[in-house]
């Protein structure tokens, strides 16, 4: 870890490491600016304090579930949750939600913005990405996986993934520490315009994902675990050249797999394996066949 150990560890301490005064202050300033630009409200000096309360109530709403927003401020005994009214009035909560903003609309230029599809959240997203990398150094074993953020509105790049709990939403590709699940870096999938590092633009998309997420961890001895969407012999050799190891399931149709391994018929319990320098590709058959690549063992 890159931060001090706390003797009185509580979740709020860790939350404040990421949503510190810089992030909360930025959100408060942009919310205040948008309120002024919209002519619906006068600027208020209370936005910083109220932004903290607003975020707290939003998170609490995910724990205390009610069918309508107004019910959280209901005074009926059967519905009442008086804590909400004690923190903030319903009218003020709605006003902040109407004006909540994470960027300056007047500075947005679609021609020069690095990711125009995400311009509404880009500044805060970038701040959090920087904090993910600054506050914690992951252990050797890291992994890449996909996550789906529930979203029911209209969006051109909304995804449907039936295996995920949310099923419909915004897909994020996450590089995290294997043991703890700590998020080191993310890519928000926005369809054809998804932002990858220009250094790797000549690579296949699946490799661009890995190389972009891994860029700041290359040449440091990390071991990447991936599924068969990302894994390939070409990627494995590239990672080895950057002092990184990898292993994971592999599609038999990937370029670079020996023909003998691809076509060989296996009986249950049999294993076929080939090695090229540090890269080993193998197939084994149990109830189902599994193809695997490994360059983490000598």
Helix (H) or strand (E) holding 94, with range, is helix 90-99
**Mean of the per-residue pLDDT values of the chain:** 87
Q: What is the mean pLDDT of residues 28-38?
A: 87
Q: How large is the angle between the packed helices 90-99 and 47-61, nearest 10 degrees?
A: 100
**In the predicted model, what is the mean pLDDT of residues 50-69?**
93
What per-residue confidence (pLDDT) applies to 43? 53
Q: Where are the domains of the chain?
A: 11-107, 137-294
The pLDDT of residue 1 is 57
Q: Residue range 124-151: average pLDDT? A: 93
Residue 159's beta-bridge partner residues?
169
Tens of pLDDT, residue by residue over 212-224, are 999 999 999 999 9
The pLDDT of residue 224:
95
pLDDT in the model for residue 40: 59
pLDDT at residue 184, rounded to an integer = 95
Rounded Cα gap, residues 135 and 186, in angstroms? 15
- Confidence band of 29 (pLDDT split at 50, 70, 90): very high
**In the 8-state DSSP scheme, what is residue 132?**
H
pLDDT at res. 220: 95
- Residue 262 pLDDT class (50, 70, 90 cuts): confident
Residue 168 has pLDDT above 90, yes or no: no
Q: Which stretch of 164-173, 199-208, 213-222 has the lowest confidence by average pLDDT? A: 164-173
CATH code assigned to 137-294:
3.30.420
Find which of 113-117, 207-211, 294-298 is predicted with most confidence, using mean pLDDT: 207-211
User: Which has more confidence, 37 or 65?
Assistant: 65
The whole-number pLDDT of residue 46 equals 66
Which is more confidently placed, 281 or 27?
Answer: 27
* Percentage of the residues of the chain whose pLDDT score is greater than 90: 51
Could you give the count of Cα atoms lying within 13 Å of 78 in the half-sphere of its Cβ?
Answer: 0
Closest by alpha carbon to 256, among 202, 196, 207? 207
């Amino acid at each position: 870890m890159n931060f001090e150990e706390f003797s009185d560890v509580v979740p709020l301490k860790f939350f404040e490491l990421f949503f510190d005064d810089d992030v909360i202050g930025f959100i408060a300033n942009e919310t205040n600016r948008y309120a002024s630009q919209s002519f619906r409200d006068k600027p208020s000096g209370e936005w910083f304090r109220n932004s903290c309360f607003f975020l707290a109530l939003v998170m609490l709403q995910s724990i205390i579930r009610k069918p309508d927003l107004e019910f959280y401020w209901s005074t009926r005994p059967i519905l009442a949750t008086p804590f909400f009214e004690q923190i903030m009035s319903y009218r003020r909560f709605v006003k902040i939600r109407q004006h909540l903003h994470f960027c300056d609309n007047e500075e947005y230029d679609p021609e020069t913005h690095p990711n125009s599809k995400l311009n509404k959240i880009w500044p805060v997203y970038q701040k959090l990405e920087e904090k993910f990398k600054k506050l914690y150094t992951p252990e050797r074993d890291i992994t890449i996986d996909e996550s789906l953020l529930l979203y029911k509105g209209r969006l051109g790049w909304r995804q449907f993934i039936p295996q995920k709990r949310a099923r419909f939403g915004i897909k994020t590709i996450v590089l995290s520490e294997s043991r703890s699940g700590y998020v080191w870096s993310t890519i928000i999938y926005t369809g054809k315009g998804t932002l990858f590092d220009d250094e790797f633009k000549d690579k296949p998309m699946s490799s661009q994902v890995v190389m972009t997420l891994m860029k700041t961890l290359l040449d440091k001895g990390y071991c990447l675990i991936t599924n068969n969407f990302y894994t390939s012999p070409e990627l494995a050799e590239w990672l080895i050249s950057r002092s990184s190891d990898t292993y994971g399931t592999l599609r038999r149709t990937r370029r670079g797999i020996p023909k003998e391994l691809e076509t060989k018929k296996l009986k249950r319990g049999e294993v076929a394996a080939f090695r090229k320098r540090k890269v080993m590709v193998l197939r084994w058959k149990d109830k189902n066949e599994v193809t695997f690549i490994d360059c983490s063992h000598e």
